[in-house]
Chain A
Amino acid sequence: MSFLDRIAEGWRKNRKPGYYENFDYHWTMTIDLDQCSGCGACVTACQAENNLPIVGEKAFAKGREVKWLRMEHYWEGEYPDVKLNIIPMLCQHCDNAPCETVCPVSATYHNQDGLNTQIYNRCIGTRSCAVYCPYEVRYFNYNDHTWDSPLDQQLNPDVSVREKGVMEKCTFCIQRVRQAKDAAKDDGRRRVRDGEVQPACVQTCPSQAMAFGDRNDPESKVSQTLDGPRAYRVLDELNTKSSVVYLKKVGTEA
């Protein structure tokens, strides 16, 4: 097969109709803000699962902390009549992701699970994806990070440790998704059952405010609440078609 034929074949394969709409799985997360207590266990779980660096005091002061999942705090009203609103903010895995179009080397792309993936090896560090992301959930490695012994022993072997100069962000714990898919294949099943795969944050949430599942499966837990009256997406007006759905907080008006 000639070189041009191979390119043409690859092009046809990648341009199959519906590549960007019809995913094998359509992983979705719902976060019930009524149930979220803002404890931050998800932040810690994410940090442990995904080998997030501890940047240290100086870098933190410069605003370079890496938190794939962060708690956003919004205060309402004047003291003493104040109200605190908390939103856990993580990569929204947009189906219309602005970050994917801008990367000159395609280091970030949409895979067939509807996930917005980041390929650390391919990243050249233009940081334009972080500019284009309206949710500000992409984090850059401003320098190499070290883990003092014995902390280096607890690094997750399923997740690569990122070097300086690359961008990173929430992956919906793609290593767990992969394991679940492999296990399902080994069982002779075609699909992963609902509840078989959970990202670290969902697994940890003590009030079970977060749920994770396949939107293509109408029976899944996320599909039940997806179109409910409380469901909304952050910055929906930007038409990013995000895969993280928040359930509105109600009944705390007093």
Chain B
Amino acid sequence: MQGDANPLKYTDIHNDVVASIVETGSNYYVALATALALTLICFFFPWFYQLYYGIGAAGMNHPGVWGTYLASFIFWIGLSHSGTLLSCVLHITNSSWRKAMYRSAEAMTLFSLVVAAMMVMVHVGRPWFIHWTIPYPNQMEMWPNFRSPLLFDVMAITTYITGSTVFIYMGSIPDFAAVRDRTRGWRNTMYSLLSLGWRGTDTEWHRLHWAYTFLAVLIIPLAVSVHSIVSWDFAMSIVPALHQTIFAPYFVVGAIYSGTAGIVTVMFVLRKFMDFGEYITELHFDNLGKLLLVLSLLWSYINLVEVFTGFYSGASGEIEALRYRLFGFYAPLYWEMITFCAVLPLLCAFKRFRTSFVPMLFLSIAINIGMYTERFLIVATSLSRQYLPDAWGLYVPSAVEISILVGTLALFTTLFLLFVKIFPSVSMYEVKETMDTPKKIPAAASGGSLA
């Protein structure tokens, strides 16, 4: 990746990355304080009010019993597919361009999952009993309902969180050791603990690589199954427009799509504000742009299939649900989604577009707005038009819901801001693997354990 003309040296990488952890400007504190305050005001306060008052604080009503909380849940689970899945696929296909960006992508996975789990708590009516969905021996001799797709969900997401945590942590161990060797005081203690006594011996490297590849292979089917299972929450019902076999691939493609767009956003931010311009280059945006193009075409195809099967079914319920989605009350949102997720990404066909940073940022944000809309429409339009016309209704989110939606973004940002100060957000040892080996290794500059 780095040519001979590139003056980047092994030492520079260490200096840059460790500096991003140790040296904290006032801008960072301002950003963190803002994000934290927004999290408290927009997420936790409305949520506590809702706990006190009941779900009535949100805008849900009789046919529309699911709302933006569930849409947010799917959205964040989808966003989580960016990181670990993409990182795993690129790892086993030996795509070296992955190496500069995958750490932050994996962190996105982890924090998206945390936020998604929070959304479940916000969504249910009595979150203080949420542990009943976990199978554990108890004095009531009651087990959860193993036939329920919601229970599959709990299992899948718990497994996914565990897997992703182990994956990101294991990949970071050599970097923790590198930071340990360059810090002192409480940081040194912390990184000593985190690096698990990593010394950088050949055996250690060998085992790390083996275990890392093993986990990567393990996580790919897991990530695909997680979002398939999330789709079954809907597809296993008999609600018109939800009861569709295409839903599992639809959700998985949608998830990877919004996740990839999310990576583009995060990489732009890292590049801009963390001075990682030398590591996150046009090459990454170019490749991710190609990926976005392919995914958008896939996504558009599945949407076409959905419309076609709905029309072709000949069932009055399906056709009404379809008509309502395309031309009903929520129709502006539908066409907004089509514009953002099917039409705009076609710009990625041009290399000039893919390699320009700011347009790619806007595109990635537009895609994620469109993808959020998609999840909202799946919930809102289908529930508004079910079998019995007397029970048709309309669902509009309340102020509490919108506030919590903003709050989840703040929560995610807060977690991410904390992450960049604890984890080396660019994988140092893997970036080095992509560089030419120096002719002579200066002992002082090699960073001890990594020599």
B residues within 8 A CB of A106? 142-145
Q: Are B148 and A102 interface neighbours, CB within 8 A?
A: yes
**With A64-B56, A89-B388, A144-B54 as contacts: A165 and B126 at CB distance below 8 Å:** yes
Interface size on A, residues (CB 8 A): 46
**With A64-B56, A125-B125 as contacts: A98 and B237 at CB distance below 8 Å:** yes
Q: Are A104 and B137 interface neighbours, CB within 8 A?
A: no
A18–B62 alpha-carbon span in the complex (Å): 35
B233 interface residue per 8 A CB criterion: yes
A residues within 8 A CB of B389? 74
Q: Are A104 and B387 interface neighbours, CB within 8 A?
A: no
Q: Are A105 and B387 interface neighbours, CB within 8 A?
A: no
Which A residues, 64 to 103, have Cβ-Cβ distances below 8 Å to chain B?
Answer: 64-65, 70, 72-74, 89, 98, 101-103
User: Nearest B residue to A239 by beta-carbon distance?
Assistant: B238
Q: Are A140 and B65 interface neighbours, CB within 8 A?
A: yes
Q: Are A105 and B145 interface neighbours, CB within 8 A?
A: yes
Which B residues, 363 to 415, have Cβ-Cβ distances below 8 Å to chain A?
Answer: 383, 386-391, 393-394
A159 interface residue per 8 A CB criterion: no
A132–B147 alpha-carbon span in the complex (Å): 14
Which B residues, 31 to 57, have Cβ-Cβ distances below 8 Å to chain A?
Answer: 53-56
Q: Which of B127-135, B184-192, B207-215, B278-286 is found at the contact surface with chain A?
A: B127-135
A123–B129 alpha-carbon span in the complex (Å): 9
User: Nearest A residue to B125 by beta-carbon distance?
Assistant: A125
Q: Which of A98, A122, A135, A142 makes the CB contact (< 8 A) with B142? A: A122
A55–B389 alpha-carbon span in the complex (Å): 23
Q: Are A89 and B54 interface neighbours, CB within 8 A?
A: no
Chain A binding surface SS class: loop
Chain B binding surface SS class: loop
Q: Which of B80-88, B149-157, B269-277 is found at the contact surface with chain A?
A: B149-157
B239 interface residue per 8 A CB criterion: yes
Q: Which of B62, B154, B386 makes the CB contact (< 8 A) with A63? A: B62
User: Nearest B residue to A139 by beta-carbon distance?
Assistant: B62
Q: Are A165 and B145 interface neighbours, CB within 8 A?
A: no
A247–B150 alpha-carbon span in the complex (Å): 37
**With A134-B386, A136-B388, A141-B125 as contacts: A128 and B54 at CB distance below 8 Å:** no
User: Nearest B residue to A3 by beta-carbon distance?
Assistant: B137
A10–B390 alpha-carbon span in the complex (Å): 42
A62–B55 alpha-carbon span in the complex (Å): 13
B residues within 8 A CB of A103? 145, 148, 150
Which A residues, 113 to 130, have Cβ-Cβ distances below 8 Å to chain B?
Answer: 122-128, 130
**With A131-B239, A131-B383 as contacts: A105 and B62 at CB distance below 8 Å:** no
B residues within 8 A CB of A183? none
User: Nearest A residue to B63 by beta-carbon distance?
Assistant: A136
Q: Are A143 and B237 interface neighbours, CB within 8 A?
A: no
Extra A-B contacts (7), CB below 8 Å, given A105-B144, A136-B391, A167-B125: A63-B63, A89-B391, A98-B238, A102-B150, A104-B145, A164-B56, A165-B126
Residues of chain A having any CB pair with chain B under 8 Å: 3, 6, 10, 59, 62-65, 70, 72-74, 89, 98, 101-106, 122-128, 130-132, 134-136, 139-144, 164-167, 234-235, 238
Would you mind naming 26 contact pairs between A and B with Cβ atoms under 8 Å apart? A70-B390, A72-B391, A74-B390, A89-B388, A89-B390, A101-B145, A102-B236, A103-B148, A104-B132, A104-B145, A104-B151, A104-B154, A106-B145, A122-B132, A123-B126, A124-B130, A126-B124, A126-B125, A128-B150, A131-B65, A131-B239, A135-B387, A143-B53, A164-B54, A164-B55, A165-B125
